Structure 1
Amino acid sequence: MEEDYGKLPVTEVVTRRIQEMIRSGEFPPDAKLPSQRILSEQLGVSRASLREALLTLETLGLIRTLPARGTFVSGERTQAPKAGQNWRHDARYTITEVFETRLLIECEMCRLAAPAMTGARLDALADAARTFEIAWRNGDLLAHVEADLAFHARIADACPNGMLRMFYRSIHDVLTESQRVPIPNTEVSRMEASIAEHHAILAALKAGDGAAAAAEMRAHISNTASIVGAKLVQ
């Protein structure tokens, strides 16, 4: 059954469609993708939208672009990139700087958000944590990352400090990329731990314990940073 994309942005729709082609075997492991001209025509989108979709899929480790050879589905002969290898923002910020910033703002936002995390907000956060786990087990990496982004964003939205919320939104693109980058190099045991960390953050917020929620967020971000080689000062 074809997925209903609703009013998703074009780039997100394209990314999902190509992921489906890979998961269904239409583009099998190690297969070379059609040229961007052909693929954009096939999908009925601009090359700009296609390029952005391919960048996202490569960050997630689903495809790999090889110089002078083309773009291939990751497989035995075409391995996913190593952690942090596809960091797009390196000209402006290192991956370590981004995770240092995440520690500074997300832990504090988590602490401040605790009193406001009640009712519908907690339900939405629990739903994101549940989707994060289910999508991973189903192999839907895009839905998995989207749930992760939603989990962190819902905590940020509940933070009563308007300046922190504004700053968080202003660096959204960089934060999004930092949550995609670890995926290709995340072992099953580490993902199980990450799922547990999300539930620990949720439990602390449900208890209204801001200090515990901030501590759980710090542990989660630090553990994720280690996957991509970010050198955090403890």
Structure 2
Amino acid sequence: MPFKNREEYGGTSGHRQSRTETAVHKIESLILQNEWGDGERLPSQRALAEELGVSRPTIREALVSMEARGRLVIQPAKGVFLSGPGTASGKESATGVKVQASANLSGRESQMYQFRYAIEPAIAGLVAVNATAAQVEDMRVVVASMRRALESRDIVEFSRLDFTFHSQMIEAANNRFFTEAITPFLGLFFESQTLPLTFDESVQETVREHEEIMEHIREGRSAEARKSMEWHVRCVARRAGVNLIE
């Protein structure tokens, strides 16, 4: 899909933006320049990354952030679309974040939890032994930010950070086979992580589970990190109304 990109991008005066924020602004500029309207499909993540000079993980985070704000709709296996009539799925909360009732879960979502249960514990075990010190620190910062988002009851930021953490885990395994296998399903990953969007005890449990995973990763305890991630995915699925069979 050809598109215009005439602008040279730079930071805004006096304000240092994160890489994700910068990518969001670049994508928004492309939308304006090309006059893309509601319901229009955006270029692929690869095309956006190459055109904007941004890494694909950063593009993914930017798209997820924009979806959390109600700007985009990510449809697994179909693409990313500007929000508009016929593009939304599920209902929207007061914050603009999509919420899907567990009673309406389709077989696809149940299968994604099963996929996560099989794959993510293995990834966590690899992260404990393969991640660089910088990657471990990045994940630690995200988990600490999740705790702050919980305390401030910022549901949009919490959802974004939750997705960011699991995306970082995939990268920090430093195994290209996992990265290439999971990348096409990241949109559905995000959807499965944001089904139960209420600030109650279950969200506090989610943060504690992430903190436990990070403790094992920092100590290089592969088996324990694997078990903690296995428990986390089981709990997330249960909170969404999906009972996993071991």
TM-score interval (norm. to shorter): 0.5 to 0.7
Residue in structure 1 matched with residue 102 of structure 2 by the alignment: 83
Residue in structure 2 matched with residue 148 of structure 1 by the alignment: 162
Structure 2: distance between partners of 1:127 and 1:160: 19
Q: Does 2:74 align with 1:50?
A: no
Q: How much does 1:84 deviate? A: 5.5
TM-score (norm 1): 0.67
Farther off after superposition, 129-138 or 192-201: 129-138
Contact 1:15–1:57, Cα closer than 8 Å, also in 2: no
Aligned-CA RMSD value: 3.0
Equivalent AA in structure 1 for residue 184 of structure 2: S
Q: Which runs of 4+ in 1 moved over 6 A?
A: none
TM-score (norm 2): 0.64
Residue in structure 1 matched with residue 212 of structure 2 by the alignment: 200
3-state SS, counterpart of residue 69 of structure 2: helix
Structure 2: distance between partners of 1:155 and 1:173: 16
Gaps of 5+ in 1: 19-47, 64-72, 75-79
Judging changes above 3 Å, is the alpha-carbon distance between structure 1 residues 13 and 224 closer, same or farther for their aligned structure 2 residues?
closer
Judging changes above 3 Å, is the alpha-carbon distance between structure 1 residues 158 and 13 closer, same or farther for their aligned structure 2 residues?
closer
Gaps of 5+ in 2: 1-16, 29-62, 72-80
Structure 1: distance between partners of 2:182 and 2:151: 29
Judging changes above 3 Å, is the alpha-carbon distance between structure 1 residues 83 and 123 closer, same or farther for their aligned structure 2 residues?
same
Residue in structure 2 matched with residue 106 of structure 1 by the alignment: 120
Q: What does the per-residue CA deviation read over 1:50-75, in whole Å, with 9 as the maximum and x for residues that have no partner?
A: 339x848945x337xxxxxxxxx89x
In structure 1, which of residues 163, 173, 178 is the aligned counterpart of residue 192 of structure 2? 178
Judging changes above 3 Å, is the alpha-carbon distance between structure 1 residues 109 and 51 closer, same or farther for their aligned structure 2 residues?
same
Residue in structure 2 matched with residue 7 of structure 1 by the alignment: 23
Contact 2:139–2:168, Cα closer than 8 Å, also in 1: yes
Q: How much does 1:16 deviate? A: 3.2
3-state SS, counterpart of residue 192 of structure 1: helix
Residue in structure 2 matched with residue 30 of structure 1 by the alignment: none
Judging changes above 3 Å, is the alpha-carbon distance between structure 1 residues 226 and 104 closer, same or farther for their aligned structure 2 residues?
same
Q: Does 2:245 align with 1:233?
A: yes
